[in-house]
Amino acid sequence: SKTSQAADFDVVAIGGGFSGLYMIHSLREAGYSVRVYEAGGDVGGVWYWHRYPGLRCDVESFAYCYYFSEELYNEWTWTSRYPSQPEILRYINFVADKFDLRRDIQFNTRINAAHYDEVNERWQIYLNDGTSVTAKFFIPTVGGLTSAPNVPNFKGLHSFEGEWYHTGNWPKEKVNFKGKRVGVIGTGSSGMQVIPEIAKEADHLTVFQRTPQYSIPAGNHELDPEYVRQRKANFKELKQQIRNSRTGDFKRLIDKSALAVTEEERLQEFESAWEKGGGLPRYNDLFTNEEANQTYGDFVRSKISEIVRDPEVAQKLMPNYHFGTKRIALSTNYYETYNRDNVTLIDIKKAPIEEITPMGVRTTEKEYKLDALVFATGYDAITGPLFKIDIRGRNGVALKEKWNHGGEISTYLGLAIDGFPNLFMVAGAEGPGAVVNNLVVIESNVEWIIDCLNHLREQGINTIEARPEAAADWSKSVAEAANATLFVKTESWWTGANIPDKPRGFPIYLGGFDKYNQICKEVADKGYAGFSLSVNKKEEVN
Ligand code: NA7
| ipTM of the complex model | 0.99
**pLDDT band at 542; cut points 50, 70, 90:** low
**pLDDT band at 1; cut points 50, 70, 90:** very low
Global pTM reads 0.96
What ligand 1 atom has the least distance to the C-alpha of 211?
Answer: 39
Nearest Cα to 284, choosing from 260, 302, 268, 300?
260
Alpha carbon nearest to ligand 1 atom 33, residue: 189
Nearest Cα to 450, choosing from 10, 3, 7?
10
Distance of CA 439 from the midpoint of ligand 1 (Å):
22
Nearest Cα to 346, choosing from 319, 328, 364?
364
Q: Which residues line ligand 1 (CB under 6 A)?
A: 145-146, 152, 167, 185-191, 210-211, 213, 327, 348, 376-379, 493, 498
The H or E element that residue 314 is part of is helix 311-317
Main-chain dihedrals φ then ψ at residue 264, nearest 5 degrees: -60, -45
**How large a percentage of the chain has pLDDT more than 90?**
96
pLDDT for residue 144: 87
Q: How many helices (H) and strands (E) does the chain have?
A: 16, 19
Distance of CA 499 from the midpoint of ligand 1 (Å):
10
- The mean predicted confidence, pLDDT, of the chain is 96
| 341-372 tens-digit pLDDT | 999 999 999 999 999 999 999 999 999 999 99
From the CB of residue 218, how many other CB atoms can be counted at a distance below 10 Å?
23
What ligand 1 atom has the least distance to the C-alpha of 191?
Answer: 26
| Average pLDDT rounded to a whole number, residues 118-142 | 97
Distance of CA 350 from the midpoint of ligand 1 (Å):
17
pLDDT for residue 541: 58
- Bridge partners of 206, per DSSP, are 183, 344
Distance of CA 187 from the midpoint of ligand 1 (Å):
6
| Most informative mutation of 498, 501, 502, 508 for ligand 1 (most atoms within 8 A of CB) | 498
Alpha carbon distance 274, 268 (integer Å): 10
pLDDT for residue 4: 47
Kindly give the interhelix angle for 235-243 and 225-233, rounded to the nearest 10 degrees: 80
pLDDT for residue 253: 86
Nearest Cα to 199, choosing from 339, 376, 330, 32?
339
Distance of CA 368 from the midpoint of ligand 1 (Å):
21
pLDDT for residue 254: 86
pLDDT for residue 2: 47
Alpha carbon distance 277, 60 (integer Å): 11
Q: Which residues contact 329 (CB under 8 A, 6 or more apart)?
A: 58, 188, 189, 192, 193, 213, 214, 215, 216
From the CB of residue 533, how many other CB atoms can be counted at a distance below 10 Å?
19
| 148-182 tens-digit pLDDT | 999 999 999 999 999 999 999 999 999 999 999 99
Alpha carbon distance 208, 375 (integer Å): 10
